[in-house]
C-alpha cells in the first residue's frame, strides 16, 4: 500500500467518541511517496515531511529529525483510521518529532471533500414490480427485499421473485402495498403493509403468515395500515399505524398493546398517525406523528413526553409532521419532518437545531421534506429528501452535499425523491425512490471513471478518443476522431474543445490521431489527412506541416500516426506513407521502404515510435514488424514475424510499445503481447490462451506498483509479469467499451491512468482501486424434477421445506432428471460472479462453469450423494464453504434389501420344489427310457437289414445315373453337330434363294407386274429373317457350352458401345440417351456385351416411332431397392419411352419365339430376350420387366 498525494485519510476518534475530520495530502516533495514498511504490509513508514510544505521540510532538517515516524494508514474506503505511533528511539527525539508533527499537521492538511458517488439502478426493465420503493432490507440469508406499492420483491443480484396478494390464497401476502420490513432476533422477516396489516414470511414453506391485530376502537379487525416498525433491544416490535397509534407487539406470543392519543391526557401519544418509530440509547421509544410532533415513550412510567413545533421558539421542533427519526452511533437523535427540514435533538439542553433548505445556499439541505435518514459504517449521515435528492452531512461544517438527478450521466440518481435508505454489511448504500426504482452504490462498484460525449455542452466533443497527453502544466489533452482536440479540466470535470478552423490558422482537421508536447512547450497535433499542426500556446501561433507532392523536403504523408522528440533533440513523425525526421531548417528527411535495400525501413506505415532507456529508437509498423534505428549508419534493423520461428516477433502489426520500470520492453501486436530479450534479441509471447482477453493489444501502461495495464479489443487487463497473472475488466466494470483505440493511453505524473476507446475514455488510479474482499453467501435457490417446479410440503413432494434450507433430499429412483439453481449473493457486478459445483459419489472433479448458475443430473443410480456448490464475488474472492445438500436416491421395489431377501427365500423354495419334482420326473423318465431302449433295439435290427437293401439300391441307381449322363452327353454332342449341320445346310439354300430373288428383282423386275415384284420382295425379306433366326438360335445354343470368365466389367461402357453401334445404322430421329456413369459388375465381358446389345437394340427398336425417343440406363438407389423388396442388391435397369407392352402378357416376354407385337410393326425373331435371360441366369441373376402400352418399358436385372 502507498501513502499518496491527493488521497483522503481519516484520524481515529477521540476518547469521547467524536470523529476527527478526514484530510487529504496536498504537497509533494522530491522524495516522493511514503512506502510501505517491511514488517507490516498495512503499515506505512517513511519520511513524514512529505506531508508538509518545503519550509516544514527545512525545519525538520534543522532539528535533525531522521525518518522516525510510522504511519499506520488505511484509506477511508477500507473503513479504518490513520494511526500515528512512535518508532523505537530516544524519547527526547521522539517527543520532538511528535511535537513538530502535531504543530504542523493542521496547517498542512485540508479537509477532504464528499465522495464522488455513482449509482446503479434497478427499474421495471430489470424486473422490479413497481417503481415506488418504500422500504429496503437484507434478510439473514443475504437476499435483498424491496417493498413497493405493488408487491414485495426479493432480489438475488440477477432477477426478482415477486410476491403479491392473492385473494384465493390465505398463505399469500395480506396486501400488495408494502410499507415496512424488519428482521426479528430469530432471523425471520416481517412485513408491514397498507391495508393488510402485519405479515411474517415463512421461509421454509415460501409463504406468508398473517397477523390480525385488533383495535378496540375499530368495528373491523382494525390495525391494517402500517407506516413503520422497529425491533427493540429486547426483541419486541414497535409498530406505527396510520390512525392506529403505536403498538407494542411480542412476536413470540402474538400479544400486543396499543397506545393511542387521549385529548384530555397530555401523557398519552400526541397523535394517532404514527409514521416513524425509533429507540434511543436509554431504551425510550420515539414516535413521530403526522400532525402531533414527536412523542417519547418511557417504559417505566408508560407515559409519553411530547415535543411539538412552537412558532415562537426557534429551538423547538421545526414542524409537527414527522416522517422519520434516526438515532446515530453518537446517540444523537435526528428527526426528518414534512416541510420543516431536518432537526437535531440536543439531549443535554433538551432543544432542537433545525436545518432547512436555502435556495441561495447550495450547501444547505436539499429540501425541507425529509423522507429518510441513515448513518453508514463510516459515521456519515445520509439524508433522503422529497425533491432535493440524497444529501450528505459534513458534521464538522454542518453543511450538506447533494446528489441529484443528472441528465448528462447514466450513473446519477434516477429520481430526486429518496423515500428510504439502507446500508448492508458490505458497505453498499441502497436507496428507494419515488417512482425511480432502486439505486445503489458501493466503494467496490466503480473502479473506473468514464467520460464521454453527453448533452452537456462542457462534455467531450466526440466519443472516439484516439490520442492522450499530459502537458507540463498538468493539463490533459485528448485527441478525438471527428471532434478535434479537447483540454480536460479534471478539477471541474469539463472539456474545452478546439475544432478545425476553416477561416484561418488553426487546427487543420477534427480527426486527431497523435499528440506531443515539445521541449519548448508547443503542442504538436497529428491528424488524419490534415497533416501536422504545431501550436504555440503562448503566442497563439499555428503552423501546418503537410505533404507536398512537388517538394521532397515536405512530409511524406498527411496521415500523422506518431510523433516523438528523442533524447538527441531529433523530431520524428510516423505517417501511413513513411517515416520523417525534421531538419533544423524545418524541412524533412524521409525514410521509406526500399525492396533493394535490406537496411531501409521495413514498411511505410509507421504507427508507433518509442525510445527506450538505452536510447534505442524503435519504429513499429502496421504490417511489417519492428524497426530498430542505428544512429551511426542511419539505417534500420528489422524484427519480423516468422511462422517457423517461435522466438521471432509474434505478429507484424504493431499497435503499442512500453518499457517498464525494470527496463523490459513490451510490444503490443495484432497477435498478442511480446516481451523483447535484448541479450538474445528474441521475443516471448503472451496470448489469449495465456490469460489475455484478446490478442489485439491496443495500449500498454505500467503503474507505480510495476503492474502492466493493457487495453485490447475485448476489455482491459491487469497483468503482473512476475506472476504471469491476468485480471480482466470489461464494460460491466465501468469501462467506456470493451474496444479501445490504438495508442490512446496515458499515465500522468500523479499516477492516474487514462485509456481511450470508441465510447470516450476511462481514468483511474490503480492503487486507489478497492477490491471487494467479501466472499458472498452461496445458496441453492431452486430445485426441479423433469424441468418442473417441485411443490413444498405436499404428500408426494420430496421437499419438506424450501430447497435453500433443506439439508437432505430424498428422491425416488424414477426422478431421473433433477436440476438445481444456485446463486452467490454478491450485488457488486454479479455478472462477474463465478461458480463451481460437484456431486460427490458421482464425479471426482469440480465443474468450473463460469457464470452459469444451474446444474442438471440424469439417471443417477440409487445411493447417497453430496451436492456442493461454491461461488465467488466480482473480484474472484471465493466462498469455499458454499452450499451443501445431501441427496439420497431410493432404489425401486426390486432393489430394496428386504425385497432381495424375500426373493432369495422364494427362490430357494422354488429351487427345492423344482428339484423334488425334477427327481420324480427323472425316475419316471428312466422307466420310460428303459422300455424305449428295448423297443429301439428291436427296431435297430430291422433297420440294419433295411440299410443293406438301401445300399444295394443306391449302387444300382448310381450306375443308372452314369449311363443316363453319358447318353445325355452323347445326345448333346449330336444336337450340337446337328445344329451346325442344320445351320450349314440351311444357310446355303437360303443364300441361294436370297441371291437369285435379288438378281431376279434387279434384272427382270421390269418384266414382272406389281404382284410379281411384291412376291419377290417378300421372298427376299423372309430369307433374311430366316437367316437372322438361325443366327439367334445358334447363339442361344452356344451359350450352353461357353466357359464363363468372371471379372469386373464396366456396364456403362458396354451400354455406350451398344448405343453407338446401333446409332450408325439408325435412320431418322435418334433417341436421347441417359447413361449413368461408373456402373460396374462382375461377369463375362462377351456375354454381357451380347446381353446389352440385345436390350439396347430392343429399346431403340421399340421407341423408334416416337417423336422424342428416350433411352436410359442406370441403377436403383438403396431406398428404391428396399422399396421393391431387394435390400442390399444392385439392380440395374434399361428404360425407354417406346411402344411398351401389356403387363397381362409379361410372362411371355422371355420365352423363345414369343412376340407381343406384329411383324409388320416391329421386326424381330423373338429369341433376343430369351438369350438375355439365359445370360443373366448364367451369372446367377434375375431379369424382370414392367411396361405400359404406348408409354414404354423398363427391364430390371441383377447379376449376382
**796 belongs to a structural domain:** yes
**Given pLDDT bands bounded at 50, 70 and 90, which one contains residue 701?**
very high
Mark whether 858 and 955 lie in a shared domain. no
Identity of the highest mean pLDDT range in 75-84, 89-98, 259-268, 1065-1074: 259-268
CATH code (residue 430): 2.130.10.10
E strand map for 100-216 = 110-111, 120-122, 133-138, 144-148, 151-155, 160-163, 178-183, 189-193, 197-202, 207-211
- Kindly report the length of the chain: 1200
In a domain, 637, yes or no: no
The stretch 905-927 carries a mean pLDDT of 84
- 1000-1044 pLDDT, tens digit per residue, is 777 777 777 777 777 777 677 667 666 666 665 566 556 555 667
Confidence band of 304 (pLDDT split at 50, 70, 90)? very high
* Residues forming beta bridges with residue 258, ordered by sequence position: 247
Residue 227 within any structural domain of the chain: yes
Range in 137-151, 651-665, 893-907 with the lowest mean pLDDT: 893-907
Residue range 412-418: mean pLDDT, rounded: 96
CB 547 within 8 A of CB 553: no
**In the predicted model, what is the mean pLDDT of the chain?**
86
With beta carbons less than 8 A apart as the criterion, state whether 756 and 740 touch: yes
Could you give the CA distance from residue 670 to residue 798 in angstroms, rounded to a whole number?
Answer: 56
Measured CA angle at 398 (ends 397, 399), to 5 deg: 90
Mutual angle of helices 1085-1102 and 1168-1178, in 10-degree steps: 150
pLDDT of residue 104: 35
Domain boundary among 999, 1016, 1033: 1016
When pLDDT is cut at 50, 70 and 90, the band that residue 215 belongs to is confident
Cα–Cα distance measured from residue 210 to residue 188, given in angstroms and rounded to the nearest whole number: 14
- H or E element, residue 1175: helix 1168-1178
CATH number at residue 1111: 3.30.565.10
Same domain for 905 and 866: no
Tens digits of residue pLDDT in 936-968 = 888 887 888 888 888 888 888 888 878 877 776
Whether pLDDT at 884 is above 60: yes
The secondary structure of the chain in percent helix, strand, coil, rounded to multiples of 5, reads: 20, 35, 45
The predicted-structure confidence for 610-666, as pLDDT tens digits, reads as follows 999 999 999 999 999 999 999 999 999 999 999 999 999 999 999 999 999 999 999
Residue 981 confidence (pLDDT):
59
Confirm whether pTM is higher than 0.85: no
Cα 1039 to Cα 1044, 1046, 1172, distances in angstroms: 9, 15, 10
- The answer to whether residues 858 and 956 belong to one domain is no
| Gap between the Cα atoms of 743 and 655, Å rounded | 7
Check whether residue 1104 and residue 1008 sit in a common domain.
no
The predicted model gives 109-127 an average pLDDT of 81
Give how many domains the chain has, as a whole number.
Answer: 6
**Structural domain contains residue 932:** yes
468 domain-assigned: yes
The answer as to whether 61 is a domain residue is: yes
Residues 1094, 1096, 1098, 1100: is their CA dihedral positive or negative? negative
Which of 891, 918, 941 delimits the end of a domain?
891
Residues 243 and 388 in one domain: yes
- Owning domain of residue 388: 120-125+197-207+216-445
Q: Are residues 1106 and 1143 in the same domain?
A: yes
Residue after which a domain boundary falls, among 545, 568, 586:
545
What average pLDDT does this structure show over 364-389? 96
The whole-number pLDDT of residue 776 equals 98
**Is the domain of 201 the same as that of 341?**
yes
pLDDT at 432: 98
pLDDT digits (tens, 9 = 90+) for 794-842: 998 999 999 999 999 999 999 999 999 999 999 999 999 999 999 999 9
What does the pLDDT average to over 711-724?
A: 96
Same domain, 75 and 13: yes
| Residue-level pLDDT at 219 | 53
Across the range 895-918, mean pLDDT stands at 79
pLDDT of residue 1033: 58
**Does residue 100 surpass a pLDDT of 80?**
no
Residue 980 within a domain: yes
pLDDT, tens only, 588-615: 999 999 999 999 999 999 999 999 999 9
In the chain, what percentage of residues exceed pLDDT 70?
84
Q: Three-state SS for 580?
A: strand
Residues 378 and 299 in one domain: yes
**Per-residue confidence band for 729, with pLDDT thresholds at 50, 70 and 90:** very high
pLDDT computed for residue 716 by the predictor:
98
507 in Cβ contact with 517 (< 8 Å): no
1005 with 1102, same domain: the answer is no
Average the pLDDT over 853-860 and give the result.
96
Which value, in Å, is the radius of gyration of the alpha carbons in the chain?
52
Is residue 369 a part of any domain in this protein? yes
Q: How confident is the model at residue 1159 (pLDDT cuts 50, 70, 90)?
A: low
DSSP string, 239-275: EEETTTEEEEE-TTT--EEEE---TT-TTS-S-S-EE
702-707 mean pLDDT: 96
Which of 162-176, 319-333, 651-665, 1100-1114 has the least mean pLDDT? 1100-1114
Clarify whether residues 937 and 996 are in a common domain: yes
Q: Which residue has the higher pLDDT, 678 or 1067?
A: 678
pLDDT above 80 for 668: yes
pLDDT at 19 over 50: no
Residue tagged 426373493 (cell numbers): 903
Q: How far apart are CA 182 and CA 164, in angstroms?
A: 18
Stretch 225-230: mean pLDDT, rounded? 97
Assess whether 911 and 821 both reside in one domain.
Answer: no
Amino acid at each position: 500500500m502507498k501513502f499518496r498525494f491527493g488521497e483522503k485519510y481519516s484520524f481515529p476518534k477521540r476518547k469521547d467518541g467524536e470523529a476527527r475530520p478526514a484530510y487529504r495530502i496536498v504537497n509533494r516533495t522530491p522524495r516522493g511517496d511514503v512506502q510501505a514498511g517491511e514488517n507490516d504490509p498495512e503499515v506505512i513508514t517513511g519520511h513524514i515531511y512529505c506531508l508538509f510544505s518545503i519550509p516544514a521540510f527545512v525545519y525538520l532538517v534543522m532539528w535533525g529529525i531522521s525518518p522516525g515516524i510510522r504511519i499506520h494508514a488505511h484509506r477511508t474506503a477500507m473503513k479504518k483510521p490513520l494511526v500515528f505511533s512512535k518508532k523505537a528511539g530516544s524519547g527526547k527525539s521522539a517527543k520532538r518529532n511528535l511535537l513538530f508533527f502535531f504543530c504542523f499537521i493542521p496547517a498542512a492538511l485540508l479537509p477532504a471533500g464528499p465522495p464522488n458517488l455513482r449509482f446503479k439502478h434497478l427499474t421495471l426493465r430489470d424486473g422490479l414490480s413497481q417503481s415506488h420503493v418504500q422500504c429496503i432490507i437484507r434478510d439473514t440469508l443475504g437476499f435483498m427485499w424491496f417493498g413497493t406499492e405493488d408487491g414485495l420483491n426479493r432480489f438475488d443480484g440477477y432477477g426478482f421473485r415477486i410476491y403479491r396478494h392473492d385473494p384465493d390464497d390465505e398463505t399469500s401476502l395480506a396486501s400488495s402495498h408494502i410499507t415496512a420490513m424488519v428482521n426479528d432476533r430469530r432471523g425471520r422477516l416481517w412485513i408491514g403493509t397498507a391495508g393488510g396489516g402485519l405479515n411474517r414470511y415463512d421461509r421454509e414453506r415460501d409463504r406468508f403468515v398473517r397477523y390480525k391485530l385488533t383495535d378496540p376502537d375499530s368495528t373491523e379487525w382494525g390495525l391494517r395500515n402500517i407506516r413503520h416498525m422497529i425491533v427493540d433491544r429486547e426483541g419486541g416490535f414497535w409498530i406505527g399505524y396510520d390512525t392506529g397509534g403505536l403498538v407494542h407487539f411480542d412476536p413470540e406470543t402474538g400479544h400486543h398493546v396499543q397506545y393511542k392519543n387521549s385529548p384530555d391526557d397530555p401523557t398519552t401519544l400526541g397523535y394517532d398517525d404514527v409514521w416513524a418509530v425509533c429507540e434511543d440509547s436509554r431504551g425510550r421509544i420515539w414516535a413521530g406523528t403526522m400532525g402531533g410532533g414527536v412523542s417519547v415513550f418511557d417504559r417505566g412510567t408508560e407515559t409519553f413526553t411530547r415535543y411539538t413545533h412552537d412558532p415562537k421558539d426557534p429551538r423547538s421542533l421545526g414542524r409537527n409532521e414527522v416522517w422519520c427519526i434516526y438515532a446515530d452511533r453518537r446517540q444523537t437523535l435526528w428527526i426528518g419532518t414534512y416541510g420543516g427540514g431536518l432537526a437535531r435533538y440536543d439531549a443535554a439542553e433538551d432543544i432542537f437545531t433545525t436545518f432547512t433548505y436555502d435556495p441561495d445556499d447550495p450547501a444547505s439541505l436539499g429540501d425541507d421534506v425529509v423522507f429518510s435518514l441513515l448513518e453508514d459504517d463510516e459515521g456519515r449521515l445520509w439524508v433522503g429528501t422529497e425533491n432535493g435528492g440524497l444529501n450528505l452531512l459534513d458534521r464538522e461544517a454542518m453543511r450538506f452535499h447533494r446528489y441529484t438527478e443528472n441528465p448528462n450521466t447514466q450513473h446519477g440518481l434516477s429520481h430526486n425523491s429518496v423515500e428510504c435508505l439502507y446500508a448492508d454489511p458490505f458497505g453498499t448504500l441502497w436507496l428507494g425512490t419515488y417512482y425511480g426504482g432502486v439505486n445503489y452504490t458501493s466503494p467496490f462498484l466503480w473502479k473506473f471513471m468514464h467520460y464521454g460525449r453527453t448533452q452537456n455542452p462542457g462534455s467531450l466533443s466526440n466519443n472516439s478518443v484516439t490520442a492522450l497527453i499530459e502537458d507540463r502544466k498538468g493539463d490533459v489533452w485528448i485527441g478525438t476522431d471527428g471532434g478535434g482536440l479537447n483540454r480536460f479540466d479534471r478539477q471541474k470535470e469539463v472539456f474545452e474543445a478546439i475544432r478545425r478552423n476553416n477561416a484561418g490558422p488553426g487546427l487543420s482537421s477534427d480527426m486527431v490521431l497523435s499528440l506531443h508536447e515539445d521541449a519548448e512547450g508547443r503542442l504538436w497535433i497529428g491528424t488524419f489527412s490534415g497533416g501536422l499542426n504545431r501550436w504555440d500556446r503562448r503566442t497563439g501561433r499555428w503552423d501546418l506541416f503537410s505533404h507536398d507532392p512537388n517538394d521532397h523536403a515536405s512530409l511524406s504523408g498527411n496521415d500523422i500516426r506518431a510523433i516523438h522528440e528523442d533524447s538527441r533533440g531529433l523530431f520524428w513523425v510516423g505517417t501511413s506513407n513513411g517515416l520523417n525526421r525534421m531538419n533544423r531548417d524545418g524541412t524533412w528527411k524521409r525514410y521509406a521502404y526500399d525492396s533493394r535495400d535490406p537496411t531501409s525501413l521495413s514498411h511505410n506505415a509507421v504507427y508507433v515510435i518509442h525510445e527506450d532507456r538505452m536510447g534505442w529508437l524503435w519504429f513499429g509498423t502496421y504490417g511489417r514488424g519492428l524497426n530498430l534505428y542505428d544512429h551511426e549508419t542511419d539505417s534500420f534493423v528489422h524484427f519480423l514475424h516468422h511462422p517457423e520461428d517461435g522466438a521471432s516477433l509474434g505478429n507484424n502489426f504493431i499497435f503499442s510499445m512500453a518499457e517498464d520500470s525494470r527496463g523490459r520492453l513490451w510490444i503490443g501486436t495484432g497477435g498478442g503481447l511480446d516481451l523483447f530479450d535484448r541479450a538474445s534479441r528474441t521475443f516471448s509471447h503472451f496470448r489469449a490462451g495465456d490469460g489475455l482477453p484478446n490478442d489485439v493489444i491496443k495500449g500498454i501502461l505500467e503503474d507505480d506498483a510495476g503492474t502492466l495495464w493493457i487495453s485490447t479489443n475485448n476489455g482491459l487487463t491487469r497483468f503482473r509479469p512476475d506472476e504471469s497473472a491476468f485480471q480482466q475488466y470489461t464494460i460491466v466494470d465501468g469501462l467506456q467499451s470493451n474496444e479501445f483505440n490504438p495508442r490512446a493511453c496515458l499515465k500522468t505524473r500523479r499516477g492516474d491512468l487514462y485509456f481511450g476507446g470508441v465510447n470516450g475514455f476511462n481514468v483511474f488510479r490503480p492503487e486507489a482501486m478497492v477490491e471487494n474482499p467479501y466472499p458472498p453467501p452461496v445458496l441453492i435457490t431452486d430445485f426441479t424434477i423433469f424441468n418442473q417446479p417441485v411443490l413444498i410440503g405436499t404428500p408426494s413432494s420430496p421437499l419438506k421445506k424450501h430447497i435453500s434450507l433443506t439439508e437432505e433430499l430424498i428422491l425416488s429412483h424414477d426422478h431421473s432428471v433433477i436440476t438445481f439453481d444456485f446463486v452467490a449473493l454478491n450485488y457488486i457486478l454479479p455478472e462477474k460472479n463465478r461458480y463451481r459445483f460437484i456431486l460427490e459419489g458421482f464425479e471426482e472433479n469440480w465443474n468450473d462453469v463460469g457464470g452459469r448458475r444451474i446444474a442438471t443430473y440424469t439417471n443417477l443410480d440409487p445411493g447417497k450423494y453430496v451436492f456442493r456448490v461454491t461461488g465467488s464475488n466480482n473480484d474472484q474472492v471465493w466462498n469455499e464453504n458454499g452450499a451443501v445438500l445431501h441427496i439420497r436416491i431410493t432404489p425401486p421395489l426390486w432393489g430394496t434389501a428386504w425385497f432381495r431377501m424375500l426373493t432369495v427365500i422364494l427362490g430357494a423354495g422354488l429351487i427345492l420344489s423344482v428339484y423334488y419334482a425334477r427327481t420324480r420326473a427323472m425316475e419316471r423318465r428312466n422307466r420310460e427310457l428303459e422300455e424305449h431302449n428295448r423297443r429301439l433295439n428291436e427296431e435297430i435290427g430291422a433297420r440294419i437289414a433295411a440299410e443293406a437293401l438301401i445300399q444295394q439300391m443306391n449302387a444300382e441307381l448310381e450306375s443308372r445315373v452314369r449311363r443316363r449322363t453319358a447318353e445325355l452327353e452323347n445326345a448333346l454332342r449330336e444336337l450340337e453337330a446337328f445344329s451346325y449341320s442344320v445351320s450349314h445346310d440351311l444357310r446355303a439354300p437360303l443364300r441361294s434363294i436370297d441371291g437369285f430373288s435379288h438378281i431376279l428383282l434387279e434384272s427382270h423386275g421390269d418384266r414382272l407386274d406389281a404382284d410379281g415384284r411384291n412376291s419377290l420382295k417378300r421372298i427376299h425379306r423372309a430369307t433374311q429373317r430366316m437367316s437372322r433366326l438361325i443366327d439367334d438360335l445358334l447363339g442361344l445354343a452356344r451359350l450352353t457350352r461357353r466357359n464363363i470368365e468372371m471379372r469386373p466389367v464396366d456396364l456403362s461402357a458396354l451400354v455406350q458401345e451398344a448405343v453407338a453401334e446401333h446409332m450408325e445404322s439408325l435412320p431418322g430421329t435418334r433417341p436421347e440417351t441417359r447413361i449413368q456413369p461408373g456402373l460396374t459388375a462382375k461377369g463375362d465381358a462377351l456375354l454381357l456385351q451380347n446381353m446389352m446389345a440385345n436390350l439396347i437394340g430392343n429399346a431403340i427398336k421399340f421407341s423408334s416411332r416416337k417423336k422424342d425417343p428416350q433411352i436410359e440406363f442406370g441403377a436403383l438407389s438403396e431406398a428404391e431397392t428396399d422399396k421393391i423388396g431387394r435390400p442390399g442388391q444392385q439392380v440395374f435397369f434399361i428404360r425407354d419411352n417406346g411402344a411398351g407392352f401389356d403387363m397381362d402378357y409379361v410372362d411371355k416376354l422371355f420365352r423363345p419365339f414369343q412376340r407381343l407385337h406384329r411383324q409388320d410393326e416391329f421386326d424381330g425373331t423373338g429369341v433376343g430376350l430369351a438369350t438375355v435371360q439365359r445370360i443373366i441366369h448364367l451369372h446367377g441373376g434375375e431379369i424382370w420387366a414392367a411396361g405400359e402400352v404406348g408409354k414404354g418399358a423398363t427391364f430390371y436385372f441383377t447379376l449376382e
